[in-house]
A = this chain, B = another copy of it.
Amino acid sequence: MTSQQDLLDTLAQVARALGNGHRLALLERLAQGEAPVETLATTADLTIGNASQHLQHLRRAGLVTAQRSGKQMIYRLTDERIINLLGLLRQVAETNLAEMERLISRLFAEDDADGVLEAVSRDELLAGLARGEVALLDVRPEEEYEAGHLPEAINIPLAQLEEMLGKLPHDREIVAYCRGPYCALSHEAVQRLRQLGYRVRRFEEGYPEWKAAGLPVT
């Protein structure tokens, strides 16, 4: 009977590994693809030593694995389902926590003045793609695009948006996506492109969710 509680304690240990904002940021970056410590530290805005320690913590919980490559240590998620786990955690938090709602609306406050920027759901996107009515735009950095992206997506990193407008079609609606639901890149891309007269909306999810759902990636 006591080992029943041992199991729950072990489970709790895994949950506790998720219980820190910095570690969640590291996992979100890892959901885009494997990366060495330095990259992870930079995107999560941590010192190297600090990032290393958090990564050890995630490793002890079995959420990430590490592999040496030359003098670098490459980390990756142990399991695609971790993305689903994060998604479900987010769903539960969003529906049941008023605080969450407040933060989300603040993060995306400026956007939706006239309601036209409503996000495109996965089903809607799939339907639009099947009918050839939409073009996909990936606004993540080139490195993350190279590591994997949605089929037929055009990559224009946000930093080069205006320079690379030539790659965008004019005959179709554009759907922009980035790292996930909380990633602000596609929000900003949509705003800037709309000011330039493009017909564009954002995808409500991101690359990791698409991949975790078993949909094809390139």
Contacts and interface: CB of A to CB of B under 8 A. Distances in A.
A68 interface: no
A218 interface: no
A19 B21 contact: no
Interface string A83-110: 0110011111101110110011011000
A78 B96 contact: yes
A158 to B, nearest CB: 13
Copy tally for this chain in the complex stands at: 2
Given A84-B88, A89-B14, A62 B97 contact: yes
Contacts of A160: none
Range, interface on chain A:
35 or more
B107 A3 contact: yes
A204 B17 CA distance: 27
A147 interface: no
5 shortest interchain CB distances as A-B pairs: A16-B19, A62-B96, A9-B21, A15-B18, A62-B97
Given A12-B19, A85-B85, 13 more contacts: A3-B107, A7-B103, A7-B182, A9-B21, A10-B93, A10-B99, A10-B103, A15-B16, A62-B93, A78-B95, A79-B92, A81-B88, A88-B88
